[in-house]
Structure 1
Amino acid sequence: MHPTRRLRPWTTSSLLVAARLLAATLAVAMVALAAERARAQQSEEPDVHFSRIGTGPTGGTYFPMGGLIANAISNPPGSRPCDRGGSCGVPGLIAAAVSTNGSVANVEALEARTVDLALVQADVGFWAWKGEGIFSGREPFAGLRALAYLYPESIHLVARADSDIRTLADLRGKRVSIGEEKSGTLVEARLILNAFGLKTTDIEPSYLRLGPSADKLAPGDLDAFFFVGGAPVQAVTDLAQATPVRLIPLSGAMAEKLTGIFPYMTRNTIPANTYPGQSAAVPTLAVGAVLLTTDAMPEDRAYRIARSLWHPVSLDLYRRGHPGGGLLDPRHAMENTGVPLHDGAARYYDEMKALAAEGTGTQPAP
Structure 2
Amino acid sequence: MARRAVAALVAAVMAGAALASGAASAQEMNFFRIATGGTAGTYFPIGGLLANAISSPPGSRACDDGGSCGVPGLIATAVASNGSVANINGIKGATLESGFSQSDVAYWAYTGTGVFEGQPPVETLRTIANLYPESIHLVARADAGIQSVADLAGKKVSMDEPGSGTLVDARLILAAYGLSEEDVEPEYLKPNQAADLMRDGNMDAFFFVGGFPAGAIAELATGFDITLVPISGPEADGITQEYGFFSANTVPAGTYEGVDADVQTLAVGAQWVTSADQSEDLVYEITKAVWNDSTRALLDAGHAKGKEIVLEHALDGVGVPLHPGAARYYEEAGLEIPEAAMPQ
Normalised by the size of structure 2, how large is the TM-score?
A: 0.93
Report the Cα distance in structure 2 between the residues aligned to 1:54 and 1:145, rounded to whole angstroms.
15
1:162 is aligned to 2:149: no
1:345: how far off? 0.3
1:46: how far off? 2.5
Alignment RMSD:
1.8
CA offset digits 1:187-232 (Å, max 9, x no partner): 0000010011111111111111111111111122111000000111
Q: Secondary structure at the match of 1:228?
A: strand
Q: 266, 270, 274: which one pairs with 1:293?
A: 274
What residue in structure 1 maps to residue 309 of structure 2?
328
- State the one-letter code of the partner of 1:260: Q
1:175 is aligned to 2:156: yes
Answer with 1 or 2: which has the greater Rg: 1
- State the one-letter code of the partner of 2:316: E
What residue in structure 2 maps to residue 359 of structure 1?
none
Report the Cα distance in structure 1 between the residues aligned to 2:162 and 2:118, rounded to whole angstroms.
18
1:244 is aligned to 2:206: no
Report the Cα distance in structure 1 between the residues aligned to 2:294 and 2:111, rounded to whole angstroms.
36
Worse overlay, 313-322 or 346-355: 346-355
What residue in structure 1 maps to residue 134 of structure 2?
153
What residue in structure 2 maps to residue 344 of structure 1?
325
1:20 is aligned to 2:3: yes
What residue in structure 2 maps to residue 267 of structure 1?
248
Unaligned runs of 5+ in 2: 337-344
What residue in structure 1 maps to residue 340 of structure 2?
none
Q: Which runs of 4+ in 1 moved over 6 A?
A: none
Residues 354 and 338 of structure 1: CA distance in aligned 2, closer, same or farther (over 3 Å): closer
Report the Cα distance in structure 1 between the residues aligned to 2:91 and 2:306, rounded to whole angstroms.
25
What residue in structure 1 maps to residue 181 of structure 2?
200
What residue in structure 2 maps to residue 41 of structure 1?
23
- State the one-letter code of the partner of 1:170: D
1:124 is aligned to 2:105: yes
Report the Cα distance in structure 1 between the residues aligned to 2:10 and 2:198, rounded to whole angstroms.
73
Report the Cα distance in structure 2 between the residues aligned to 1:46 and 1:251, rounded to whole angstroms.
54
1:139 is aligned to 2:131: no
Report the Cα distance in structure 2 between the residues aligned to 1:23 and 1:328, rounded to whole angstroms.
57
1:39: how far off? 6.4
Report the Cα distance in structure 1 between the residues aligned to 2:90 and 2:223, rounded to whole angstroms.
36
Normalised by the size of structure 1, how large is the TM-score?
A: 0.88
Worse overlay, 251-260 or 54-63: 251-260
Report the Cα distance in structure 1 between the residues aligned to 2:159 and 2:313, rounded to whole angstroms.
29
Q: How many residues align?
A: 336
Report the Cα distance in structure 1 between the residues aligned to 2:73 and 2:142, rounded to whole angstroms.
50
CA offset digits 1:29-71 (Å, max 9, x no partner): 525742663366347x531111111110110111111111111
CA offset digits 1:334-366 (Å, max 9, x no partner): 1212311000000000001179xxxxxxxxxxx
Unaligned runs of 5+ in 1: 1-17, 356-366
What residue in structure 2 maps to residue 363 of structure 1?
none
What residue in structure 2 maps to residue 90 of structure 1?
71
What residue in structure 2 maps to residue 76 of structure 1?
57
Q: 253, 259, 262: which one pairs with 1:281?
A: 262
Worse overlay, 28-37 or 314-323: 28-37
What residue in structure 1 maps to residue 300 of structure 2?
319
What residue in structure 2 maps to residue 230 of structure 1?
211
Q: 98, 103, 112: which one pairs with 2:93?
A: 112
1:283: how far off? 0.5
Q: Secondary structure at the match of 1:242?
A: coil
CA contact (8 A) 2:55 2:76 kept: yes
- State the one-letter code of the partner of 1:66: G
